[in-house]
Amino acid sequence: MPVDDRVRACIERIGDLVVRSAPLGTRTTYRVGGPAALLAEVVDEQSLERVASAVHDSGIEVLMLGNGSNLLVADRGFSGLAIHLGGTFGDLVIDDESGAITAGAAVACPVLARRSVAGGVGGLEWAVGIPGTVGGAVTMNAGGHGAEMEANLVSARVVDLARATDAWRARRDLDCSYRHTNVHSGEIVVEARLQGLPGANSTESTEMLEEIVSWRRTHQPGGRNCGSVFTNPAGDSAGRIIDAAGLKGLRYASAVVSTKHANFIQVDSGGNAGDVRALIEIVRATVARSFGIELVTELRMVGFDR
Ligand SMILES: Cc1cc2nc3c(=O)[nH]c(=O)nc-3n(C[C@H](O)[C@H](O)[C@H](O)COP(=O)(O)OP(=O)(O)OC[C@H]3O[C@@H](n4cnc5c(N)ncnc54)[C@H](O)[C@@H]3O)c2cc1C
């Protein structure tokens, strides 16, 4: 079915749940990029079921949107349906006795970290520095400060839109590795069961939260960016390599390689996604030419031709 027909078929089914030509790029931390043809705000199980069935029947392409902290949306936008979770998917239940946590996919990672500590559960302090959602962090196997989501993850509830299935997938079946799981673009992580450490020392955990926040302020740039653009090659750091290639501060129109951390690319206010994309390719090509290293993007690009 042509793209426009899929969009129309979707509107016929869930017109009351979608916004047409909805700003998408502005919902990312880059704050550049165009609209989504359709955007659905999914706030409860009933609307999730309706959206899943409309996607299944129309075959429309889907983009799961968390906090947009790892997304670069093309200036022309995305021609499918963006799905954003909220409402009951923001529920967070922490059992201070066992350290078991059930977190909806819409829970913000810093909230997960701080609420766990406040509830006497440790082990998730690392998440305070991740400006994404639990859904995004599970999908990306996000991590930092020596920890990764994988270490806390027990299982994730995954809705597969093409197969119309809804099942809990255990950690061992998620194929977790560095910034990778097998959750693919036609699947939705709806909630996650996590394991923290009960009886954590509240003073130590609180200090750890503040140390992480302060470390990030010192070592990472603010402004419009998506964190690390490239994954670290085994045993090395993408930031070190880009710096060694002399690319810190390199500018392409509205995009610039951060002078504070070379694996961050920032974009000016009023800039555009095309400039960020072009600079990513310049960095990639220069590093390949200089050191023979093929950098792999960590950020996800949406709506570009390739
Ligand atoms: C300043 C800054 C610092 C950062 N530091 C780190 C860091 O230290 N470590 C790290 O790992 N990352 C870091 N990031 C990147 C980013 O925060 C993480 O990748 C985060 O997990 C993305 O979550 P999100 O909700 O923003 O996902 P999005 O950016 O919205 O989406 C990312 C990917 O996950 C998919 N996705 C999102 N939600 C779901 C869902 N519910 N179900 C299925 N798929 C979904 C999207 O389709 C997309 O492919 C940083 C980003 C910024 C801006």
What percent of the chain shows pLDDT beyond 90?
A: 97
Q: What is the CATH number of domain 90-218?
A: 3.30.465.10
Nearest CA, atom 49, ligand 1:
300
pLDDT value, residue 233: 97
Which of 41, 63, 67, 69 to probe ligand 1 with, by most ligand atoms within 8 A of CB? 69
Over the stretch 75-92, which tens digit does the pLDDT of each residue have? 999 999 999 999 999 999
Q: What is the three-state SS of 180-205?
A: ECCCCCCEEEEEEEEECEECCCHHHH
Least-confidence region, from 1-5, 147-151, 231-235, 242-246:
1-5
Give the integer Cα–Cα distance in Å for 260 and 243: 10
pLDDT value, residue 36: 98
Q: What are 99's two structure tokens? A: 């350290």
Give the integer Cα–Cα distance in Å for 102 and 55: 27
Over the stretch 11-67, which tens digit does the pLDDT of each residue have? 999 999 999 999 999 999 999 999 999 999 999 999 999 999 999 999 999 999 999
- Indicate which residues carry an active-site annotation: 179, 228, 298
- Quickly name the fold that domain 221-302 has: 3.90.78
pLDDT value, residue 162: 87
Burial 156-178, CB ≥16 within 10 A → b, else e? bbbbbbeeeebeebebeebebee
Pocket lining for ligand 1, CB < 6 angstroms: 29, 63-71, 85, 105, 129-133, 135-137, 139-140, 142-144, 183, 187-189, 220, 225-227, 300
Q: Is residue 1 predicted with pLDDT exceeding 80?
A: no
Which of 81, 140, 179, 216 to probe ligand 1 with, by most ligand atoms within 8 A of CB? 140
Ligand 1 centre from 4 Cα, in Å? 29
Q: Is residue 96 predicted with pLDDT exceeding 80?
A: yes
- Residue 39 DSSP class: E
Task: Name 187's Cβ contacts closer than 8 Å, sequence gap at least 6.
Answer: 64, 158, 159, 160, 161
Confidence of residue 294 (pLDDT cuts 50, 70, 90): very high
Mean pLDDT on 172-191: 97
Query: Pick from 101, 213, 85: which is nearest to 151 by CA?
Result: 101
Mean pLDDT on 133-154: 97
Average pLDDT, the chain: 97
- Residue 233 DSSP class: P
**Looking at the domain covering 3-85, what would its CATH class be?**
alpha beta
Confidence of residue 306 (pLDDT cuts 50, 70, 90): confident
Question: Which atom number of ligand 1 is nearest to the Cα of residue 145?
Answer: 8
Give the integer Cα–Cα distance in Å for 95 and 128: 19
pLDDT value, residue 66: 98
Query: Pick from 18, 12, 28, 11: which is nearest to 75 by CA?
Result: 28
Question: Which atom number of ligand 1 is nearest to the Cα of residue 70?
Answer: 29
What percent of the chain shows pLDDT beyond 70?
A: 100
Ligand 1 centre from 69 Cα, in Å? 5
Nearest CA, atom 51, ligand 1:
227
- Name the residue ranges covered by the structural domains of the chain: 3-85, 90-218, 221-302
Ligand 1 centre from 1 Cα, in Å? 31
Which of 32, 39, 63, 64 to probe ligand 1 with, by most ligand atoms within 8 A of CB? 64
Structural contact between residues 213 and 183, judged by C-beta atoms closer than 8 angstroms: no
Question: Which atom number of ligand 1 is nearest to the Cα of residue 106?
Answer: 41
